[in-house]
Structure 1
Amino acid sequence: MTDTFPVILAERYEIRDLIGRGGMAEVRLGYDRRLNRVIAIKLLRSDLASDSTFQTRFQREAQSAAALNHPSIVAVYDSGEETLVQPDGTSRTVPYIVMEYVEGHTVRELLGDGEAVPIPEAVEIVTGVLDALEYSHRAGIVHRDIKPGNIMITSTGAVKVMDFGIARAIEDSAATVTQQHAVVGTAQYLSPEQARGEVVDTRSDLYSTGCLLYELLTGHPPFTGDSAVAIAYQHVREVPKPPSSIAADIPEAIDRVVLKALAKRRDDRYGDAAHMRTDLLAAQQGNAVSAPATSTWASAPTTTLPQQTDAFSPARPETPAPPPPVTQQPLIMPTEQDDERASKNRLGLWLLIAALLVAVALGAWAVSSGKFGGADPKPTASPTPTTIAVPDVTGKSEQEAKAAIESVGLVYAKGDGVASNTIPPGRAVSTDPAVGTGAAPGSTVTVQYSLGTAMVEVPDVSGKTQEEARDALEKAGLKVGTSTSEDSAEVGKDKVIRTKPTANTTVQRGSSVALVLSTGRVTVPDIKGMTLEAAQTALQDAGLTYNVNSPTTEKTSDPAKKDTTEVTGTSPVAGASLDAGGQVTIDYKKYDFQPAPTTTSPKAPKPGDPNNPSSSPSTGATSN
């Protein structure tokens, strides 16, 4: 079908080799002639291109994905439509999406042999996915299809999540089942609500991420089966084994994080990606986590598939057992007098019961009010609630949030700061447990507060001391990472030459920024092969002085080398480190031009040449 596509789209994008194919589209390597960069081009399948519904869904995918700009999300650069002429003369429109080309491999390829990956690598991959989900969820976009095939590891080790917005594009509503009743997503990574065809939310992505983490740690998904229906049923009904029961080196804390992410009820999972990431990193470092013990889930209630019961129907009484057999008696028909007598008996019984209830109520009131026994009236204690709904404190200050939580009988605790593009710094972002969750009276509710926007710009700290750079980076919402040293003539000792990422680059708040510090020394440049004049200039530009040894002479017949010089070496050698202003000794040679001798061939003698006897005229007898 790709043969029907043109070589050039929009007079700009070259279509090259096929690099991927999915249920709705195929992806080809491409080249942007205008910006001179390699790209990826997604084209709607030709057999779907004539369907206006799929065209709309495909365009919606482009809009959803283009709204996301994050280092861990594959970027969308452009989208459009191309009109193609069919062999019969008719035309049709084929939509396309121009995306960032990511060079690397998918996590599916990483797991291709069924072997687990090391725990630090698994945590790093899932942390990258959670970073992307935290950003997309704040933008109101649920991925719906987190799986190893949609996670890329670049050649530099960075994590990239692909196909954002596809699940939203495949459907016309927020539900998980399409008009053809096909579940959106891959069976091994479906959340229970997706398997039941219910509306999904951000916690559905966290369930799928839990499945991904489980497979990275153990080498296989939490549930497998002979069919998608069998796997979906397990997602709804069965609790997975703890990962440590498969791989003994997995800590119990990571077990807890995985099983909390895989909770059947959405309210039992992590409230957002940031909380799951915090717990996962804490578990890797051996710190305490908020997830409950793994034994909690063994007795946790599970839900059922919609085909089996109605989740909202009242419980039905069990069918009573049939009465024991009795011996047949003569059938006696009741008379009108019998009916009247039975009716009067029932009425009398009800009147008696009502009178007794009134008497009991009056007696209880009299005792409690002190009418009998001379007791002082005491207030009746209100019943203690079994659970309290966690109040919504989003957007409140710390003082307001604390007052709201304590006013309902819960204990307030301040949590770590989190990035937010929508909530001002210092205001409440989320709670743990989540808003509306039932909590036991006196239990602790942790409130996370906004640190500000999720993406920040790396400040320029070049020329600053290490402490000054640290203060500037922390003020910008970033952390100082590793520090390395490099020779520099322009920057003083122990001051910053540059940062990684570089200044003015936009990165996620809380990211680590590495510092490159100056040693205050200079690296001897490689000047071998240069002319003496060029070498002297290079050393001066590097902040060094020089001393020149007497030259050696080399003969040459090459006219281009006439009156030229060439550096043959230095002391110290190239790459050595010297203090600024240090001296380098130059060894060089001068070329002595000597033209090559000219050799000519002897000329042929002319006839009659007196110098050549052989050229004299021949003599002979003449006849008379």
Structure 2
Amino acid sequence: MEEPRRLGGRYELGHVLGRGGMAEVYLAHDTRLGRSVAVKTLRADLARDPSFQARFRREAQSAASLNHPTIVAVHDTGEDHIDGVSIPYIVMEYVDGSTFRTLLHSGRKLLPERSMEMTIGILQGLEYSHRAGIVHRDIKPANVMLTRNGQVKVMDFGIARAMGDSGMTMTQTAAVIGTAQYLSPEQAKGEQVDARSDLYSTGCLLYELLTVRPPFVGDSPVAVAYQHVREEPQPPSVFNPEITPEMDAIVMRALVKDPDYRYQSADEMRSDIEACLDGQPVAATAAMGSVGYGGYPHGQPMTALRTDSSAGPTTMLPPMNRYNERPDRRRQKKNNNTSTILLVVAGVLLLVSAILIGKWLGKQF
């Protein structure tokens, strides 16, 4: 019988739990501590590329620095050598459960309240990682797990970066990192991202949990990325009548194009969801009403609402008195629309009058 492959002299690899774009994950046995673990190894065909090596090690460093119940824990790291090539690996806690992607593809319909509860778990993990200065940058159904006892676990910090890192843009890669359906507008545009980008991606994931479809779909990743930048999603209630106005408001605020008008922290978004589940008023309802949600013509980008281009550096704290200027803007927009309508009506009346006069003159001659 063939001996199981052993890493670091202690981790015996079993069957493959999953494969991704750059790594494979095995169920393994820690012979020293006598426990099951999950071992992620960089794919052998990518191990010769220094950029993939660096990204894989960065994931280990990012995840190892985080210790929270809703984040998959990293126990150990190391390197294996095959045919003279160094293949790094990460030893993580083994999570007995399934990913949100598997859950969504199973065809099971979740109650809206359960979807909101599961999103709270994601936000708790992000709140902790953001306070530690780490942005995940790849929140999507495949990177969140649900254990058999119902606990949420965020995993795969493979493209995470420290906040303030000057390299926190997407322009250095040959392709857009992060699944296109969950990209924030700033990621899609190759701009610098912060914690609020994770909240947009979480909003996309919550949207899909509520409706069983992402906010934007297209024929290609580029087409989807364009929609994230330029198009407004339809409220989740359009696809699921069980969604309440408060749930709509929470999702739509998370999906605002301009980060300054989005939720400013995971804690702020989590508080709104908890208020919604408790039957209490949610801040998103007032905030979205103030910035024009439901008050502008269909298709008007919310990015056009930002008027203060000289604002200082963004922070993770909610903006103060940011929304009280919006009603005036909306009244001005309404007045402009009224003037346009009156001009069109006047033009139609002139045209009708000209036709009638022409017919009358024709009868006279």
TM-score class normalised by the smaller sequence: 0.7 to 0.9
Does the aligned pair in 2 maintain the 1:254–1:284 contact within 8 Å? Answer: no
Does the aligned pair in 2 maintain the 1:389–1:439 contact within 8 Å? Answer: no
Q: 1 or 2, which has the higher strand percentage?
A: 1
Distance 2:228 2:312 in 1: 31
Distance 1:227 1:172 in 2: 29
How many residue pairs end up in the alignment? 314
C-alpha displacement at 1:174, in angstroms?
Answer: 1.1
C-alpha displacement at 1:280, in angstroms?
Answer: 1.3
C-alpha displacement at 1:101, in angstroms?
Answer: 0.5
User: What SS class does the counterpart of residue 101 from structure 2 fall into?
Assistant: helix
Matched, 1:173 2:131: no
The structure, 1 or 2, with the larger RCO (C-alpha pairs under 8 Å, 6+ apart) is 2
Residues 23 and 150 of structure 1: CA distance in aligned 2, closer, same or farther (over 3 Å): same
Does the aligned pair in 1 maintain the 2:265–2:317 contact within 8 Å? Answer: no
C-alpha displacement at 1:196, in angstroms?
Answer: 1.0
C-alpha displacement at 1:57, in angstroms?
Answer: 1.8
Alignment partner, residue 227 of structure 1: 220
User: What SS class does the counterpart of residue 98 from structure 2 fall into?
Assistant: strand
User: What SS class does the counterpart of residue 28 from structure 1 fall into?
Assistant: strand
**Match for residue 253 of structure 1 among 224, 246, 254:** 246
Alignment partner, residue 136 of structure 2: 143
**Match for residue 75 of structure 1 among 73, 81, 93:** 73
**Match for residue 40 of structure 2 among 39, 42, 50:** 42
Distance 2:178 2:114 in 1: 25
Alignment partner, residue 12 of structure 1: 10
Alignment partner, residue 150 of structure 2: 157
Matched, 1:241 2:239: no
User: What SS class does the counterpart of residue 67 from structure 2 fall into?
Assistant: coil
Residues 199 and 390 of structure 1: CA distance in aligned 2, closer, same or farther (over 3 Å): closer
Alignment partner, residue 63 of structure 1: 61
Within a 5 Å distance, the mapping from 1:200-599 to structure 2 comes to: 200-291=193-284, 292-293=288-289, 294-296=293-295, 298=298, 300-301=300-301, 431-433=317-319, 438=322, 440=324
Q: CA RMSD in A?
A: 2.9
Does the aligned pair in 2 maintain the 1:117–1:219 contact within 8 Å? Answer: no
C-alpha displacement at 1:83, in angstroms?
Answer: 2.1
Distance 1:387 1:172 in 2: 24
Alignment partner, residue 469 of structure 1: none
Residues 220 and 145 of structure 1: CA distance in aligned 2, closer, same or farther (over 3 Å): same
The one-letter code of the counterpart of 1:50 is R
Distance 1:98 1:226 in 2: 37
C-alpha displacement at 1:245, in angstroms?
Answer: 1.5
Does the aligned pair in 1 maintain the 2:72–2:154 contact within 8 Å? Answer: yes
The one-letter code of the counterpart of 1:153 is L
C-alpha displacement at 1:66, in angstroms?
Answer: 0.2
C-alpha displacement at 1:164, in angstroms?
Answer: 2.1
- Where does structure 2 lack aligned partners over 5 or more consecutive residues? 328-365
Residues 302 and 282 of structure 1: CA distance in aligned 2, closer, same or farther (over 3 Å): closer
The one-letter code of the counterpart of 1:29 is L
Deviations 1:230-255 (A, max 9, x none): 11111111111111121111110110
Residues 110 and 234 of structure 1: CA distance in aligned 2, closer, same or farther (over 3 Å): same
Q: 1 or 2, which has the higher helix percentage?
A: 2
Distance 1:231 1:272 in 2: 25
User: What SS class does the counterpart of residue 26 from structure 1 fall into?
Assistant: strand
Does the aligned pair in 1 maintain the 2:98–2:147 contact within 8 Å? Answer: yes
User: What SS class does the counterpart of residue 27 from structure 2 fall into?
Assistant: strand
C-alpha displacement at 1:438, in angstroms?
Answer: 4.4
User: What SS class does the counterpart of residue 166 from structure 1 fall into?
Assistant: coil
The one-letter code of the counterpart of 2:256 is A
Residues 114 and 231 of structure 1: CA distance in aligned 2, closer, same or farther (over 3 Å): farther
Deviations 1:331-388 (A, max 9, x none): xxxxxxxxxxxxxxxxxxxxxxxxxxxxxxxxxxxxxxxxxxxxxxxxxxxxxxx989
Alignment partner, residue 192 of structure 1: 185
C-alpha displacement at 1:439, in angstroms?
Answer: 5.2
Residues 388 and 266 of structure 1: CA distance in aligned 2, closer, same or farther (over 3 Å): closer
Does the aligned pair in 2 maintain the 1:39–1:100 contact within 8 Å? Answer: yes
User: What SS class does the counterpart of residue 49 from structure 1 fall into?
Assistant: coil
User: What SS class does the counterpart of residue 135 from structure 2 fall into?
Assistant: coil
Alignment partner, residue 30 of structure 1: 28
Distance 1:116 1:215 in 2: 11
Residues 172 and 80 of structure 1: CA distance in aligned 2, closer, same or farther (over 3 Å): farther
Question: What is the TM-score normalised by the length of structure 2?
Answer: 0.79
Does the aligned pair in 2 maintain the 1:387–1:439 contact within 8 Å? Answer: no
Alignment partner, residue 54 of structure 1: 52
Does the aligned pair in 2 maintain the 1:144–1:167 contact within 8 Å? Answer: yes
Does the aligned pair in 1 maintain the 2:74–2:92 contact within 8 Å? Answer: yes
Distance 2:65 2:114 in 1: 29
Does the aligned pair in 2 maintain the 1:236–1:303 contact within 8 Å? Answer: no
- Where does structure 1 lack aligned partners over 5 or more consecutive residues? 305-385, 395-429, 444-624
Matched, 1:97 2:90: yes
Alignment partner, residue 346 of structure 2: none
C-alpha displacement at 1:433, in angstroms?
Answer: 2.4
Distance 1:296 1:67 in 2: 44
Distance 1:174 1:388 in 2: 22
Distance 1:264 1:200 in 2: 13
Deviations 1:529-587 (A, max 9, x none): xxxxxxxxxxxxxxxxxxxxxxxxxxxxxxxxxxxxxxxxxxxxxxxxxxxxxxxxxxx
Structure with the greater alpha carbon radius of gyration: 1
Question: What is the TM-score normalised by the length of structure 1?
Answer: 0.47
The one-letter code of the counterpart of 1:295 is G
Deviations 1:489-508 (A, max 9, x none): xxxxxxxxxxxxxxxxxxxx
Matched, 1:183 2:69: no
Residues 268 and 114 of structure 1: CA distance in aligned 2, closer, same or farther (over 3 Å): farther
Residues 439 and 155 of structure 1: CA distance in aligned 2, closer, same or farther (over 3 Å): closer
Distance 1:433 1:238 in 2: 24
Stretch deviating more after TM superposition (246-255 or 295-304): 295-304
Residues 82 and 388 of structure 1: CA distance in aligned 2, closer, same or farther (over 3 Å): closer
Calculate percent identity across the aligned residue pairs. Answer: 54
C-alpha displacement at 1:432, in angstroms?
Answer: 3.1
Distance 2:308 2:62 in 1: 39
Does the aligned pair in 2 maintain the 1:388–1:439 contact within 8 Å? Answer: no
Distance 1:133 1:14 in 2: 32
C-alpha displacement at 1:21, in angstroms?
Answer: 0.6
C-alpha displacement at 1:165, in angstroms?
Answer: 4.2
Does the aligned pair in 1 maintain the 2:134–2:160 contact within 8 Å? Answer: no
